[in-house]
């Protein structure tokens, strides 16, 4: 999958979640859920150089909405 194809899929997931739940999700949250499910999420180019940096974790309600979107798009 190319970077352009990945962006389209992420945009589709964001639109699906917003339409069906009213929640706005970020690409970070989508990639966290995809990794949790064992799916390819691509390389993160915005990693912090700090040793103790922590990324915000996806809230449970957004995780459930993203999982629903992944099922809708046949990724799970």
State pLDDT tens for residues 33-69: 999 998 887 666 555 566 666 778 899 999 999 999 9
Say whether pTM exceeds 0.85: no
CA trace torsion 69, 38, 51, 3 (10° rounding) = -60
Domain borders along the chain are 3-40+57-72
The pLDDT assigned to 5 comes to: 54
Pairwise pLDDT comparison (55 vs 13), residue with the higher score: 13
> 16 versus 47: which is more confidently predicted?
16
Average pLDDT value for the chain:
84
Measured between alpha carbons, how far is 44 from 13 in angstroms, rounded to an integer? Answer: 18
């Amino acid at each position: 999958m190319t970077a352009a194809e990945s962006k389209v899929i992420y945009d589709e997931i964001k639109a699906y979640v917003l339409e069906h739940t009213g929640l706005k999700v970020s690409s970070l949250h989508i990639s966290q859920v995809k990794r949790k499910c064992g799916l390819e999420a691509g390389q993160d180019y915005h990693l912090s150089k700090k040793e103790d940096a922590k990324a915000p974790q996806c809230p449970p309600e957004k995780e459930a909405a993203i999982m629903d979107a992944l099922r809708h798009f046949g990724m799970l």
